Amino acid sequence: MDKMILKGMRFYGYHGVFPEENRLGQQFYVDLELVMDMNKAAETDDLQYALDYSALHAYIKGIVEGPPFKLIEALTAHVACSVLEHYTMVNEVTVRVTKPHPPFDVHFEGVTIEMHRKRADYV
């Protein structure tokens, strides 16, 4: 199997437990690793056999900038499951969602949730 990686996507969302997070929002960073067979796309050089990563980016943007989740664990799981449901050529997905500025007095580069899901687990 082959792998496509979309790294460092940035979106503005309103996820969080605190009302200020839901009102003010903040940036979220998303990385995706998609495992799929890319032989046909490579052999034909034809987009119809490939996963259009610009469309995938727009799809993820709609999720992250859409209705808020309280926990980034829930957001991460929703992204993973949605990718498998919407993009049937994807066999496995790893999603990393980073909240770079949690709303409390800590000094680090953020918190990241990583989840790996397989199509076989959803069939």
Q: Distances from the Cα of 8 to the Cαs of 42, 55, 97, in angstroms?
A: 25, 16, 10
**Token duo for residue 46:** 């034809």
Which one of the listed residues 3, 61, 70, 99 is annotated catalytic? 99
Phi, psi of 47 (to 5 degrees): -60, -25
Looking at the DSSP bridge assignments, the partners of residue 26 are: 13
- Give the Cα separation of 123 and 42 in Å (integer): 27
Specify whether 99 is catalytic.
yes
Active-site residues, by number, are 99
